[in-house]
């Protein structure tokens, strides 16, 4: 059993895609063990994406992620990290596989609807960034 952090990004929430994303998560057999809606401020978005601090798109990315409400979820299951990234598709929606969330819904390399942790250590950091242990069901 593995856990990963999923986010429906502000573009996904404002476009009414929360339900579509959750439908795919549940359809794939991943369990949602925590969920909340939140509107990050700029500093919180910068802390969340701190690994990308030096990247040229950091300013735009953190402005976008703090531009409106997002939905954060903890997903659990066997190989949850890889399975959730498979459902999301590649960062650049033009390169994402057919049938993935980003291929179907993303409009832009930045506004790509969803986030997913990329490894066990980043998953642990990202889950702890938004949820305490009382907010995650067993």
Q: Which positions lie near ligand ATP, rule CB under 6 A?
A: 52, 57, 61, 91, 109-110, 112, 115-116, 118
Q: Confirm whether 115 is a catalytic residue.
A: yes
Query: Whose CA is closest to 73, among 122, 124, 22, 29?
Result: 22
Smallest distance from the beta carbon of 50 to Mg ion, in angstroms? Answer: 12
Cβ neighbour number for residue 1 with a 10 Å cutoff: 9
Supply the minimum distance, in Å, between the C-beta of residue 138 and ligand ATP. Answer: 26
Which residue's C-beta sits nearest to Mg ion? 118
Among ligand ATP, Mg ion, none, partner that 116 touches (CB below 5 to 8 angstroms by kind): ligand ATP
Between helix 80-88 and helix 18-27 the angle, nearest 10°, is: 130
Query: What is the set of active-site residues?
Result: 115
């Amino acid at each position: 059993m593995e856990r990963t952090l999923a986010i429906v990004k502000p573009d996904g929430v404002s476009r009414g895609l929360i339900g579509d994303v959750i439908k795919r998560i549940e359809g794939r057999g991943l369990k949602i063990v925590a969920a909340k809606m939140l509107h990050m401020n700029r500093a919180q978005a910068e802390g969340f994406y701190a690994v990308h601090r030096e990247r040229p798109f950091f300013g735009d990315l953190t402005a976008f992620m703090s531009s409106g409400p997002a939905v954060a979820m903890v997903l659990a299951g066997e190989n949850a990290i890889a399975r959730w990234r498979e459902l999301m598709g590649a960062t650049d929606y033009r390169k994402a596989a057919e049938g993935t969330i980003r291929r179907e819904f993303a409009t832009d390399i930045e506004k790509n609807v969803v986030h997913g942790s990329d490894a066990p250590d980043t998953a642990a950091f990202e889950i702890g960034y938004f949820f305490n242990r009382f907010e995650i069901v067993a």
